[in-house]
Structures are given as C-alpha cells and as structure tokens.
Amino acid sequence: MAVVRPFKALRPKEDLVDKVASLPYDVMNREEAKEMAKGNDYSFLHVVRSEIDVDDSIDEHHKVVYEKARENLDKMVEEGILIQDETPRYYIYRQIMDGRVQTGLVACTSIDDYMNDIIKKHEFTRPAKEQDRINNFDYCDANTAPIFLTYRENREITKLTNDWIKFHKPVYNFTSEDGITHIVWVIDNEEVVERIGKLFEQVDYLYIADGHHRTASAAKVGLKRREENPNYTGDEEFNYFMSVVFPDEDLFIMDYNRVVKDLNGHTVEEFVDKVKGKFEVDLYEGEGQFRPTKKHEFGMFLEGKWYKLTAKEGTFDKADPVNSLDAAILQNNLLNPILGIENPRTDERIDFIGGIRGLAELERRVNKDMKIAFSMYPTTIDDLLAVADAGKVMPPKSTWFEPKLRSGLFVHKLSD
C-alpha cells in the first residue's frame, strides 16, 4: 500500500510562473545554469543552482552556495513571488511534448515507504551527488525539486484526475522555451483529496522513474530531522518528500546512446572482426543515421559509416531482467570485453548522450573528440518495472525520460 498525502505547496504567482519555472538542476553545468538564468531574477535556478550567484572561485559544493540557496528562496517568499497555499492540496501536473501528453499527481510520499521498498529503486546512487541535494534540501528546509515516480495505472485514479481536469480551470498554463506545455490544476476539494489517498491504498508499489539521488537525499534529510526531533509523531512534513506520480502508460523513455574515445588498441578491422563474434554486423545503406527499431538491435557509427548490429542468440540470458537489457548486452559483449570499458560509471573514455539530442549528435561527437558511437533502442517502462520488482539494478544510463519536470512550480516546506 503506497502512502500519498496532500501538502501546502509554495508555488509561483500565476503571472510569474513561466519566469520562475526552470529545468531540473542536474541537466546542466554551472556555466549553462548561469546563462539560462541571465537577466531573470525570478528563475528558480537561483535556488537549485545557487552557485550562479556566488563568485566563480567558490566551489559549487561550499556551504556558502547552500546558504545562498536558502537566502534566495526566502527572498522569493518575502517578495511574494512564491505564495504558500493555506490548506493541504493535491496538484495535477500535465506536460505536453510533441503532441504527447503525460499527467501526474503532485503529492507527498513517505520516507518510510522509500526505506521499506514500497517505493522501488532501479539505480545505484553516488554519495557525492546525494550530499549535494541533502545540503540544498537541508539548508532550504524544503524539497526544492520533485521526485519523478510512476505506478501501474489505476483506472479509478486516472478517471478522477481526468474528471477534475474536465470541470476545473488550470491555475497555470504556459509553454517553456523548449516547446513543452505545462498545465497545473489545484485539487482543493476535501472529499476528492480524501478519495485520492484511499485510491492509492490500492496501489501496491511506487517506482522511481527519474531522480534516485533526489529521493535518497530527501529521505536522508527526513531521517536527520527525526534525529533532531526524537519525539516526532510521524505526521510532520519532514517524514514526507515531494513527488510527481505518473501512471506507467503515460511515460515516454528515449534512447540513451554511447560514444567511446578509442578502439582500445585495435585496428578498425580487428575491432569489427571481434564484434562479429557476438553480433550480426551489417553495413547500413539507408539515408541518415541508423536508429534501432527493436530490442537487441544497435547502431554503430565508425569511420564515417553506420552499421546495424544484432545480438546473436546465446549472448544474453533472456530470462534475466537486467542482463537481457540492451544496455547490459552492449556492455557485456562489446564495451567491456572488446573496448575495455569495465566500469561505465567511472571510465572517462565513455560518454552518454540522451536521445533528446538526436543521432546527429553522435556523429558530431565522433567527428570532434570520439572514435565510435552506438545508438540504442529505448528501454521500456515494462523493463524498468521488471528490474525494480526483481530487486535488481539497471546498468548506468539505461533510461532518458522526456519531458523533464520543471523545478519551481512546487516547493514542499519541511517544517510547515
């Protein structure tokens, strides 16, 4: 049984929402964040990437940066840029990208559910990345960025949200600079609020789609607050973290592609010959780049040519939810044994390119600073759920979700 509950969100004034809402903190570097926020004092990047407001000589993980985040958040509240709702509510967040719609419920979810695997994971996290958001959430005394969760669709929940949308006006409706439309409705009817909580009692598990580091950080801040408040009841806001929960059928996963700097000492002929041991290799003679059309099919760009690779029978365990993933097949049969990429998390010879950038980006990187590229077939949401249900972990960079959740539309105060 999954626990969701309403909360009193801090959220932007309607006429400022398009200026406040920002891309998530982890899809850009410091320089890019500074450029994005340039000339926009309302941008929520001043909170989630507050290093843009301190001297460049200061490390982005210095406490001064997190103190600045809190200062900037407090200023947005004091100036009425962000206003807190008076009663706990749910919020419907709809995104439209290239005509495709995904609609989620903004709510608070339980750190106990996270620790007890009612909220299931499929990725490892790195302590340094966790600590960054721990500091941001802790200093700000708030969840400043939402967690992206999914669940196996419950038709009653979907009907309830669709009915609310049908009969109520949105509070926000804007299109961001990347062409994605963002629409928000506020559910403030007490009976409907109570109904939503009861419907989620029928949902066995929630799954982290995107934001494993944010989730781990939010949970650890909550545990820290419990230590600081030994008489806590469990009802305090710090026992919960802000999430946007989407039905699985709404979600869209894009390809997550790979580029590698060299052939690990092999000539092109030697390399291709070794690849043929595990894959069927065919020269692609079509126009443009080769985009895989099904599982276990890969594109390879080498020496100005595209090839189609197909994993041979017996090169992977079809019954294993992890080893049958294309990311694992490529890693186990090519990247590791042939190119010597033993740990793709740490090896500086490999880089990963989200599908949102297109396959032409693979060619550009090979022509600039890499030697070879691989285009991937997207991991499916069913793959993700199967791995999480098995209690296993996906290979690094297996999923790229689009569209990304905007930051600044909702903030959850931890000591409300």
Give DSSP secondary structure letters for 348-395: TTEEEEEGGG-THHHHHHHHHT-SEEEE-PPPPHHHHHHHHHTT--PP
Same domain, 220 and 270: no
Q: CA–CA separation, 208 vs 398, rounded Å?
A: 13
- Asked if the structure places residue 240 within a domain, the reply is yes
Give me the mean pLDDT over the 49-72 stretch.
97
- Asked if the structure places residue 91 within a domain, the reply is yes
Give tens-digit pLDDT for 196-222.
Answer: 999 999 999 999 999 999 999 999 999
Residue 416 has pLDDT above 90, yes or no: no
- Asked if the structure places residue 385 within a domain, the reply is no
201 by Cβ neighbours in 10 Å (0-12 / 13-18 / 19+) ranks as: exposed
- Asked if the structure places residue 65 within a domain, the reply is no
Number of domains in the chain: 2
What pLDDT does 1 receive?
A: 87
Same domain, 232 and 89: yes
User: Torsion angle of alpha carbons 328, 333, 336, 337, nearest 10°?
Assistant: 160
Which range among 19-23, 69-73, 122-126, 267-271 shows the weakest confidence by mean pLDDT?
Answer: 122-126
Q: 153: Cβ–Cβ under 8 A, 6 or more apart, which residues?
A: 247, 248, 249, 250
Residue tagged 């060619």 (tokens):
363
Q: CA–CA separation, 17 vs 36, rounded Å?
A: 16
The residue type at 362 = L
Give tens-digit pLDDT for 129-157.
Answer: 899 999 999 999 999 999 999 999 999 99
Same domain, 88 and 220: yes
Same domain, 341 and 193: no
Choose among 176, 144, 133: nearest CA to 40. 176
- Asked if the structure places residue 42 within a domain, the reply is no
Same domain, 197 and 135: yes
Same domain, 272 and 231: no
Alpha carbon separation from 151 to 57, 125, 132, 199, 322 (Å, rounded): 43, 21, 27, 12, 20
Give tens-digit pLDDT for 153-198.
Answer: 999 999 999 999 999 999 999 999 999 999 999 999 999 999 999 9
Give tens-digit pLDDT for 70-115.
Answer: 999 999 999 999 999 999 999 999 999 999 999 999 999 999 999 9
- Asked if the structure places residue 21 within a domain, the reply is no
- Asked if the structure places residue 360 within a domain, the reply is yes
Same domain, 99 and 241: yes
This prediction's pTM: 0.93
CATH number of the domain to which 326 belongs:
3.30.1760
**What domain range includes position 185?**
83-252+402-413
Residue 267 has pLDDT above 90, yes or no: yes
394 close to 327: Cβ distance less than 8 angstroms: yes
Same domain, 212 and 120: yes
CA angle (235, 237, 238) in 5-degree steps: 105
Strand ranges inside 133-213, DSSP E: 142-143, 147-151, 172-175, 181-187, 206-210
Same domain, 289 and 406: no
Same domain, 165 and 182: yes
258 close to 162: Cβ distance less than 8 angstroms: no
Same domain, 274 and 132: no
Choose among 390, 148, 389: nearest CA to 252. 148
- Asked if the structure places residue 4 within a domain, the reply is no
What pLDDT does 405 receive?
A: 95
Same domain, 205 and 283: no
Q: CA–CA separation, 43 vs 21, rounded Å?
A: 6
Share of the chain above pLDDT 90, in %: 96
Share of the chain above pLDDT 70, in %: 100
The radius of gyration of the chain's CA atoms, rounded to the nearest angstrom, is 23
Residue 124 binned pLDDT confidence (cut-offs 50, 70, 90): confident
Average pLDDT, the chain: 96
The torsion angles phi and psi of 221, rounded to 5 degrees, stand at -65, -40
